[in-house]
Every structure is written in structure tokens, then in C-alpha cells.
């Protein structure tokens, strides 16, 4: 017979074992974004040819059929979605609304008997389906048949989003991406519960949407001369040189993409960028500008602006519409009339950023308008322009959305602000009572380098996936009701093809997906990084490109008593870092970095690489002394 102490010891042992099993089970649920509530239970459900897939209401049939289409390919089975309430995998629209999960939430329960996804709306069923797909083996992502056991762990998940705006912006002006590329991108982001696709359709380098009232916008504005090399370093078009690079979406293309997005619970927010960033429009219709220069061409990526380092700049080529010309507002009326008819979104993004006023200051019409309006500063003309534009949008039943520069010169309380120059614009806008989407460069710009600038394609700034994951969209002191959510932005000056789009997007978009969906309290970088690696293998199975920069060493330097100090960091905790400064190639027999190192004088070259389990995993980073010295000042 056990003593009391033995009984207590046995109970503690059982509890510890249960906790250990529970922890191990939860660690096997590699979901992104992390659900609100998640409990792994005993057992699994095996999908076989005898499995049935059903939906309880006609309106949920498209979700069940989408699941069938996804699962039939890799399993080789021939499932059909059937109406009913007793299928093995059941999609159920609730008769009575569940207030906890709201419009986009869901409840997913799986056992050895099957799986049930319950939701208030089709959006919730769609997101429940995405979670269910992530619970299946990675082979679910493959195009061919995989002869494996198709099992789902037994779980109970209650899940719903933290924010209603969870977006990704894709710039298609700098490089044109095909209709199929855009649809693929929408499908990819929807897997991670994004619900907004911000489509940057026009800029200096290309006009990508057919406007029937102004056919030259695509006949001329959609094409530029062929140039190689980085944006900002290319040469101007030659007289008479044919513009052969580009493309555009017809209105039928737009309708097809909008319908596809709706099927994936994604709202497309179009951006037509005015009054600046309008060189493609001016090349098409020079009379829209102040100088009316008929030699204006769609820009191929030349050095057409000068930045002065304090946020100010000068344009060497006019790219701004004339705010004093009534013909410009007739143009806007017709353009946005056609755009509004194509996109069901309540919002149209109008840009409003980086608007150079130098040509306005020199224009007689703009000077006369300023005198008429009794305004002293040319900057205030942008406020006049934006208010005129907002009134046009209201007549189309749309809300104005713009970058945080639209605060300059005054906007109406109904306008929504997208804060990109850090978070300060969003804080200011929220305190003024505006709705805000937080998308600061410091956390959400997906065109920035992900790894070391000597490895990643060069650009002027860097953004690690860990930094993106650390983003908090609601700043201290701001009423959360004004923060609609956030998004990641992918500008494409240095992104020439769709594989590069994927590479720049992932895994940072996975990190931001969790920021925008999951509870703030659940944020845990180490846990996320483990799940991220699981999704690397799922992306491999799906042939989706992504950056592996999270495996790379992060090289920093500092000065201490005029001695150069080497500091190396890592994003993933279980990696080991090895380095050399003696002109040999590092491996796992070289010096292992454990703490800051004093570097000797002389023209040394640092080489560093990460290892895991005795195998190299990160890129080799090679830095000469001059570069190490420059990093002290960053």
C-alpha cells in the first residue's frame, strides 16, 4: 500500500508527464498564424477513399468544393462535395450566430471520426479550411499524387482575427505581372488569412489598368523602353526609341481577378496614384501637367529625383498633375468612375505621397488658384486637390484612402490614412479621429533586404523577419478603435519577376500574418521561428520561393578604445556561428562565435557561416575590413 508521500509523488509524476505530452502535442501543431485557442486531443483522423465531404447550406458549397479540388490532386482520390450534415469532413454554417468568433472566425474540431468546421459566415469556413489544410502533411501542397497516410491530428480550435484589415500590397507599375501571377499571389496570401490585396496599379513607370475613356493611358502609359540595371541608374529614352516593356490589365482581366479574390475572401483595394507619381499618365496626356511637355516618356528607371536626406526632394522630371486645371478634375471624374465600377471595395487608394510642388510654385495657374483660395503655401494646394478628389470618390460611393502625406493641407474626417513613414503619421491621424492602417517602413516594407546586404539583392534598407514579427500595430497612447489593422508593402523596383516577388514576400508575410491575426499575448519569436521552418518545407512542396536569410549570421561592429569589436547575432536560437579572419574558409572546426571579439589591426577579411547539427545552413558572409569599419557608423 502506497504512503501519502508516494501517492503525492505519483500524482505529480502523472501531471508532469501529461504536461510534457501536451507540450509535445502542441508543438506538433505548426500553424501560422497561431490560433486564439488550440487544444490537441488524443488520436488522428485518416482520410481514405471512403471519406465524405459535406456542407449544410447551399451558400457554403463553394468552400467545400474548393477543399475537394485542393485535396483530390495530391491524394489521387475522387471526392465530391455533397449537401448534408453528417459527412466525415463537414462545413457547417451556424444557425445561431456565435458572437465570440464574429464574421471571420471559426471553430475546428477533429477526432478519429472526422472533422467539423463551424462558422457564422463563408469567410470563417474559408479560414477554417486553411487551418485544416495546414494540419495535413506537407504533401498536400504538391501537384502530383503522394502515396502517404493522409492523417489529421485530433484538435479543438477556436479562432478569430485581432484586426479586420490584414493586407499585402503589390506594386505592378515598376514591373508588370501577369493575370495568372496576380491570382497565384492572392491565393498564396489568403492561405495565411490575409483579407486585403492592395493593388498598386499606376505610377511613373507604368499605367496598368484599362480606362476606356482615356485609351492612351494603356496605349502609351503601359510601356517603357527596355533597360537593364538597377532602378535609379538607367539611361533616359532616346528620341524615337520604341517602348516595348510593360503590359496592362483589361477591364475583363480586372473583373476576373476581382471574382477570384472574392472566392478567396480577399478584397482588392486598387491604388491609382495622384497627384504625384503620375509620369505614365502625363506621358499619355501631357496637358494634365503644368509644363505640358510632349516629350515626357514613361520612365524606365532613371535617376529623376534628388533626395536631400531630410525627407525633402526635388524632381528633375515633372510627374505631378496640375491642381489648378479643371480639365484634370474632368479626367479624374472619368478615371475613378471606371475604377469604382470595377472594384467592389469600399475604398480606393489615391496615393498622395511624395508629391513634388516645385512645378506648381512656378505655374501661373497654380499661383492664381492660391490667390483665389487665399493660401500662402504651395503645399496647401495638395489639400485642395485631395478634397476635390475625395468629393469625386464620394459620388462613386467610395471612401478615400491615402498615404500619410494626405494629412498635409487638411483632409476630411472620413478619409482613411495609411501610415508608412514610421508610425507617427498613424498616431497623428488616429488622434484626429481618422481610421488608420499601420504599414510602417520599419516593420512592413517587404522590398527591403532580408539578410546581409552583401548577400541579398542590394537596396537602401534592411528588414529582418524577426523585426517584422516584433511589430505592434497599436502604438501606446492611441485608441485601438481607430487602428483598422496593418499590411506589408512590396514595391518592385528591384523585383523583376514572380519568383522574386515570392522571395521578398516570404517568410516576412508569414510573420506579419501572425501580427495581424493572432492575439498579442501569444507572440513568441522562438515558437514562431520553429513553425516558420516547418512552413519552409511546405513552401518547398508547393514550389513557392522564399528567403532563407533567417539562417544567416548578423554581422555588427562597434568601437571600444579605438579597437574594432566584432559582434555577431542570430535569429534562430539553435544555430552555431563559425568564423575566420585568417583568409581561410570557415567550417565547424573554425573559431566558434560566443561573445564579442576584438579584431586585430590590418587588412583582415571576416568570413562567417552558421551551422546546425554539424551541417552548414546559412550563407557564407564575407566582409573586408573597410566594410566592417563602415558598419560601426550604422
Give 465: exposed, middle or buried? Use CB within 10 Å, 0-12, 13-18, 19+.
buried
Domain 10-159 in this protein, CATH class: alpha beta
Specify whether 203 is catalytic: yes
Indicate if 277 belongs to the active site.
yes
**448 touches 461 (CB < 8 A):** yes
Enter the C-alpha cell of residue 215. Answer: 485609351
CA 544, 168, 301, 347 torsion-angle sign = positive
Report which secondary-structure segment, H or E, holds 88.
none
CATH class of 165-549: alpha beta
Catalytic: 349? no
User: Nearest to residue 170, comparing CAs of 151, 183, 152?
Assistant: 183
Question: Of 336, 366, 334, 331, whose CA–CA distance to 351 is shortest?
Answer: 336
Q: What is the pLDDT of residue 15?
A: 41
Identify the pLDDT of residue 28. Answer: 66
Q: Which three cell numbers stand for residue 509?
A: 508575410
Could you read off the pLDDT of 536-554 as tens digits, one per residue?
A: 999 999 999 999 999 999 9
Give the 3-state secondary structure of residue 239: coil
Q: Report the pLDDT value the prediction gives residue 407, as an integer from 0 to 100.
A: 86
Domain ranges of the chain: 10-159, 165-549, 552-633
d(C-alpha 228, C-alpha 269), whole Å: 31
Rounded CA-CA distance 91/126 in Å is 9
**552-633 maps to CATH 2.60.40:** yes
Catalytic residue among 109, 141, 159, 203: 203
Predicted local confidence at residue 27, as pLDDT? 45
Please determine whether the domains at 10-159 and 165-549 fall in the same fold group of CATH.
Answer: no
Distance CA 163, CA 473 (A): 9
CA distances 631 to 252, 444, 453, 566, Å, are 51, 23, 11, 10
CB atoms near residue 627 (< 10 Å): 15
For 171, 254, 336, the CA distances from 343, given in Å and listed in that order, are 17, 8, 10
Q: What is the rounded distance in angstroms from the CA atom of residue 180 to the CA atom of residue 158?
A: 34
> Given this model, what pLDDT does residue 410 score?
75
Question: Which stretches within 292-445 are classed as H helix?
Answer: 326-342, 358-362, 364-373, 380-395, 424-431, 441-444
Any idea what DSSP says for residue 153?
E
In three-state secondary structure terms, 508 is helix
Residue of 69, 26, 30, 181 lying closest to 536 (CA atoms): 30
Q: What is the rounded CA–CA span in Å between residue 52 and residue 86?
A: 9
Task: Identify the pLDDT of residue 462.
Answer: 95
Residue from 65, 256, 354, 540 carrying the catalytic annotation: 354
* DSSP string over 291-324: S--TT-----SB--EEE-SSS-EEESS-----TT
Catalytic residue, candidates 198, 200, 264, 277: 277
Ranges of the chain with pLDDT below 70: 1-28, 634
Q: Which residues pair with 567 in a beta bridge?
A: 556
Enter the pTM of the model.
0.94
Amino acid at each position: 500500500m502506497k504512503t501519502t508521500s508516494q501517492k503525492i509523488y505519483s500524482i505529480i509524476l502523472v501531471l508532469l508527464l501529461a504536461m510534457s505530452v501536451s507540450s509535445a502535442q502542441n508543438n506538433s501543431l505548426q500553424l501560422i498564424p497561431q490560433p486564439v485557442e488550440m487544444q490537441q486531443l488524443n488520436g488522428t483522423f485518416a482520410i481514405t477513399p471512403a471519406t465524405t465531404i459535406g456542407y449544410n447550406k447551399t451558400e457554403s458549397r463553394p468552400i467545400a468544393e474548393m477543399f475537394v479540388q485542393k485535396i483530390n490532386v495530391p491524394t489521387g482520390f475522387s471526392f465530391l462535395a455533397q449537401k448534408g450534415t453528417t459527412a466525415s469532413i463537414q462545413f457547417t454554417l451556424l444557425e445561431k450566430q456565435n458572437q465570440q468568433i464574429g464574421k471571420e472566425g471559426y471553430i475546428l474540431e477533429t477526432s478519429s471520426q472526422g472533422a467539423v468546421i463551424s462558422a457564422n459566415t463563408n469567410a470563417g469556413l474559408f479560414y477554417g479550411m486553411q487551418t485544416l489544410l495546414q494540419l495535413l502533411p506537407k504533401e498536400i501542397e504538391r501537384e502530383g499524387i503522394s502515396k502517404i497516410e493522409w492523417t489529421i491530428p485530433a484538435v479543438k480550435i477556436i479562432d478569430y482575427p485581432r484586426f479586420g484589415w490584414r493586407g499585402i500590397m503589390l506594386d505592378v507599375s515598376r514591373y508588370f505581372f501577369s493575370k495568372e501571377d496576380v491570382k497565384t499571389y492572392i491565393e498564396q496570401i489568403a492561405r495565411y488569412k490575409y483579407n486585403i490585396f492592395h493593388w498598386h496599379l499606376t505610377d511613373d513607370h507604368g499605367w496598368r489598368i484599362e480606362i476606356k475613356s482615356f485609351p492612351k493611358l494603356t496605349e502609351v502609359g503601359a510601356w517603357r523602353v527596355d533597360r537593364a540595371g538597377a532602378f535609379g541608374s538607367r539611361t533616359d529614352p532616346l528620341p524615337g526609341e520604341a517602348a516595348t516593356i510593360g503590359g496592362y490589365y483589361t477591364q475583363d482581366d480586372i473583373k476576373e481577378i476581382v471574382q477570384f479574390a472574392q472566392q478567396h475572401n480577399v478584397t482588392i483595394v486598387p491604388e491609382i496614384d495622384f497627384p504625384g507619381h503620375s509620369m505614365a499618365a502625363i506621358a499619355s496626356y501631357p496637358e494634365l501637367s503644368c509644363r505640358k511637355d510632349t516629350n515626357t516618356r514613361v520612365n524606365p528607371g532613371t535617376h529623376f529625383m534628388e533626395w536631400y536626406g531630410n525627407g525633402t526632394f526635388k524632381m528633375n522630371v515633372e510627374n505631378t498633375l496640375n491642381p489648378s486645371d479643371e480639365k484634370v478634375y474632368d479626367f479624374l471624374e472619368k478615371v475613378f468612375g471606371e475604377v469604382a465600377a470595377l472594384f467592389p471595395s469600399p475604398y480606393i487608394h489615391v496615393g498622395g505621397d511624395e508629391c513634388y510642388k516645385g512645378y506648381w510654385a512656378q505655374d501661373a495657374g497654380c499661383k492664381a488658384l492660391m490667390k483665389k483660395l487665399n493660401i500662402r503655401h504651395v503645399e496647401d494646394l495638395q489639400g485642395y486637390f485631395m478634397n476635390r478628389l475625395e468629393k469625386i470618390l464620394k459620388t462613386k460611393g467610395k471612401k478615400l484612402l491615402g498615404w500619410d502625406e494626405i494629412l498635409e493641407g487638411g483632409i476630411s474626417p472620413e478619409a482613411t490614412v495609411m501610415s508608412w513613414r514610421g508610425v507617427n503619421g498613424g498616431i497623428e491621424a488616429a488622434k484626429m479621429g481618422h481610421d488608420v492602417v499601420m504599414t510602417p517602413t520599419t516593420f512592413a516594407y517587404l522590398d527591403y533586404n532580408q539578410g546581409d546586404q552583401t548577400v541579398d539583392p542590394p537596396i537602401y534598407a534592411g528588414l529582418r523577419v524577426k523585426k517584422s514579427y516584433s511589430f505592434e500595430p497599436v502604438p501606446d497612447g492611441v485608441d485601438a478603435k481607430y487602428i483598422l489593422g496593418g499590411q506589408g508593402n512590396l514595391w518592385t523596383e528591384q523585383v523583376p519577376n514572380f519568383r522574386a516577388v515570392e522571395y521578398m514576400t516570404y517568410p516576412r508575410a508569414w510573420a506579419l500574418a501572425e501580427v495581424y491575426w493572432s492575439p498579442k499575448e501569444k507572440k513568441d519569436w522562438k515558437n514562431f521561428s520553429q513553425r516558420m521552418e516547418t512552413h519552409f518545407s511546405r513552401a518547398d512542396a508547393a514550389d513557392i520561393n522564399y528567403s532563407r536569410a533567417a539562417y544567416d549570421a548578423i554581422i555588427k561592429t562597434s568601437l571600444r578604445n579605438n579597437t574594432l569589436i566584432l559582434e555577431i547575432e542570430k535569429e534562430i536560437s539553435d544555430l552555431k556561428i563559425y568564423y575566420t579572419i585568417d583568409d581561410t574558409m570557415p567550417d565547424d572546426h573554425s573559431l566558434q562565435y560566443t561573445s564579442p571579439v576584438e579584431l586585430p589591426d590590418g587588412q583582415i577579411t571576416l568570413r562567417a557561416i552558421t551551422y546546425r547539427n554539424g551541417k552548414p545552413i546559412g550563407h557564407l558572409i564575407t566582409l573586408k575590413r573597410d566594410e566592417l569599419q563602415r558598419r560601426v557608423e550604422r
